[in-house]
């Protein structure tokens, strides 16, 4: 059974900031990359537990998207009871961790 993927307000702001940062509105290549990030997030509809738990919080999982210095980390929580995936935060993988995901 498929899961419903929803984004928190923070994750929506993160994606908007990433869109602006990579200039996805101005570059075909950047737009393709950004669309791939969104597809990767939506792929959590199927088998979200394929992604490992984070070291910061075992109830939060993460999906990595990108290559080399362009890796972004998608933090999310799986709710089995109602078959939901709540995307909590999306950030550049090299950014300093800000503590536990809430």
For the domain that residue 11 is a member of, what is the CATH number? 3.30.2310.20
Q: Does the residue 102 lie in any domain?
A: no
Q: Can you give the pTM of this predicted structure?
A: 0.88
């990595």: which residue's tokens?
64
Q: Alpha-carbon torsion 52, 55, 59, 64, what sign? A: negative
pLDDT at 99: 46
- Model pLDDT for residues 19-74, shown as the tens digit of each residue: 999 999 999 999 999 999 999 999 999 999 999 999 999 999 999 999 888 899 99
Q: How many domains does the chain have?
A: 1
Q: Does the residue 48 lie in any domain?
A: yes
Largest CA distance in the chain: 41
User: Could you tell me the residue range of the domain that residue 13 belongs to?
Assistant: 4-92
């Amino acid at each position: 059974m498929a899961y419903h993927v929803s984004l928190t307000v923070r994750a929506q702001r993160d994606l908007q900031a990433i869109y602006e940062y990579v200039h996805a509105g101005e570059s075909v290549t950047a737009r393709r990359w950004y669309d791939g990030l969104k597809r990767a997030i939506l792929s959590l509809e199927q088998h979200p537990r394929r992604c490992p738990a984070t070291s910061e919080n075992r109830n939060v999982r993460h999906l990595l998207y990108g290559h080399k210095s362009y890796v972004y980390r998608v933090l999310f929580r799986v709710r089995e009871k109602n078959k939901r995936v709540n995307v909590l935060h999306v950030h550049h993988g090299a950014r300093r961790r800000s503590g536990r995901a809430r």
